[in-house]
A = this chain, B = another copy of it.
Amino acid sequence: MRPTVYDIAAAAGVSLATVDRVLNQRPGVRIVTREKVEAAIRDIGYVRDVAAANLAKGRVYPLVFILPTGDNSFMHGLYAEVRQAMTRSSLERTEIRIVQVPAFDPPALVAALDALHGQDVAGVALVATDAPEVRAAVDRLVDARIPVVTLVSDLTGSARHHYAGVDNIAAGRTAARLLGRFLGGRKGDITVLAGSMLVRDHRERLEGFAALMAAEFPQLRLLPVLEGRDDPEITSGLVSEALAGSNDIIGVYSLGAGNRGLIRALKATGQGRGLTVVVHELTEHTRAALQDGTIDAVLNQDAGHEVRSAVRVLKATADGQGFIAGQERIRLDIFVKDNLP
């Protein structure tokens, strides 16, 4: 049987309470006593039973998820995953609250962030809009010793404790490689479709995409980026227009959301043009389009993984526990027609 607090207590010749104080780095223990206990812990090779500890603590973690509004399947999916996490609340001793803010709106995000001060909050997860004032608001929370995790889109340069999302530069490069290879040496134009250059994830995807394209597929020319604000309607219009305006387009990279609109436009205008299309986020729409051949590859971040990782990291940080970063890495999934889950 593995050693328990009793074993440490016996070995160190102290009581349970003292062992607990040392274990949880609480004050009220003489330095010599502390060292004696720490030695015993090391000697015996004690590992704390987290489940038992949580049971005894009875602690609950009030967490806040700040999510942007947005009528696209990815956002719907993200909300669904957070709600899913809410149903697990009783088991995981969390108490999750969703705060909605308008998308791509730094002041609104700042207001939501600042409103959290003084509230009973054990941790905050937010889909960051990249702006200095948001960075500052996040830093204020961190200063107030509230754990903060960015979700889906990061906020580099801020003091956030963790980013639960994919490496978006790598995502852009991956898209470029697939598009380039699938096009097999053909020459032509590529239309790039983004949500907004205001969010870091989109900027980074574009950056990675453009860099690899330039380096390895010089025969492909990138057209100016279209910004569809992750909205299916706007996106549809932009794409239709672009396709109608040029016959040199042979590929499309959609690095944001709102692909429902893209797919509609492709079916209306792009049919039979043999376009090669790579998009982000697996949703019911992109899945169907992959199946019927409208889309050739989907890059995906698993929103469920991201939410669960955010919760784990927030809880661990709230406990001052640290986490294994490698274990929390979010993978970039590639889907073609044949490996759909």
- CB within 8 A of A339: which of B51, B91, B170? B170
Q: How far is the CB of A40 from chain B (nearest CB, A)?
A: 17
Whether A212 sits at the interface, judged by CB under 8 Å, is: yes
Nearest CB to that of A173 among chain B residues?
B338
Q: Are A331 and B341 in contact (CB under 8 A)?
A: yes
The reply on A54 being an interface residue by CB < 8 A is: yes
Q: Is the CB of A50 within 8 A of B91?
A: yes
Interface status of A178 (Cβ within 8 A of chain B): yes
List A residues 89-131 near B (Cβ within 8 Å). 90-91
Min CB distance, A175 to chain B, in Å?
Answer: 9
Q: Once bound together, how far apart are the Cα atoms of A170 and B186, in whole Å? A: 29
Q: A47-B91, A49-B91, A338-B174 are in contact. Are A181 and B296 (CB under 8 A)?
A: yes
Say yes or no: is A13 at the interface (Cβ < 8 Å to chain B).
Answer: no
A334 interface hit (Cβ, 8 Å): yes
In the complex, which residue of chain B has the Cβ closest to the Cβ of A45? B90
Q: Is the CB of A174 within 8 A of B50?
A: no
Complex Cα distance A212/B335, Å?
Answer: 16
Residues of A in contact with B (beta carbons under 8 Å apart): 2, 47, 49-52, 54-55, 90-91, 170-171, 173-174, 176-178, 181-186, 208, 212, 296, 329, 331-339, 341
Closest 7 CB pairs of A and B: A184-B184, A51-B51, A173-B338, A334-B334, A174-B338, A174-B339, A2-B90
